[in-house]
Chain A
């Protein structure tokens, strides 16, 4: 069974930075695109970013474009999300999710999430 384990969530001040990690196991990590999805407290799901299996193609939601950077290290089976210039509205549980098709059509496996709180 696919395993995805996020880490790195923390309390950070507005304007600060944070890097999230997602450790993947039990599947051929480099063969699949991966996404980050977030959920603010009591709110709905918001897609954040996707990276192709090889890491050459990335896309972002307008709300994070220019501030967040998605990356991956296939030798370590790990996905990352570098978050800069954090705002209060970035407060959310961040999930990593596996994309089975590579075309951002759906997400068939999810991690348990890591909480990011942006507050002074």
Chain B
């Protein structure tokens, strides 16, 4: 099972919006509405930001939104803030025997 494909880095200025893509296959991203997104600051554990494609856990800012089209999922951060600078990973249930796969990760830089 190969990792889902994400851009290595994305950057934006404070207040701008950025979008991170996550490309998989019909066995994972495209086949199920089970895509999740995680934020990870350096030296910290990951934090769930989005689950089931576009649902936000309680306490996560509504500046974070997500969607899916075909085999590609996307995370959008609106009104970019300095605290959003972190690594972001997508993840998906997969019908393969391994059951779950993460994306390659994207480093978000706030200019």
Q: Are A45 and B48 in contact (CB under 8 A)?
A: no
- How many CB-defined contacts (below 8 Å) exist between A and B? 70
Q: Which residues does chain A contribute within 8 Å of B105, judged by CB atoms?
A: 44-45
B98 CB contact (under 8 Å) in A37, A59, A112: A59
Count of residues in B whose CB is under 8 Å from the partner chain = 27
State how many angstroms separate the Cβ of B72 from the closest Cβ of chain A.
18
* Residue count of chain A within 8 Å CB distance of chain B: 23
The answer to whether A108 and B51 have CB atoms under 8 Å apart is yes
Given A95-B46, A105-B36, A106-B51, A45–B89 Cβ distance below 8 Å? yes
Whether A105 contacts B51 by the Cβ 8 Å rule is yes
Asked, given contacts A45-B38, A106-B34, A113-B45, whether A62 binds B98 with beta carbons under 8 Å apart, the answer is: yes
On A, residues with C-beta under 8 Å from B are 35, 37, 44-47, 50, 59-62, 95, 100, 103-108, 110-113
Partner-A contacts on B (CB < 8 A): 1, 3, 32, 34, 36, 38, 40, 45-48, 51-52, 57, 87, 89, 91, 93, 97-105
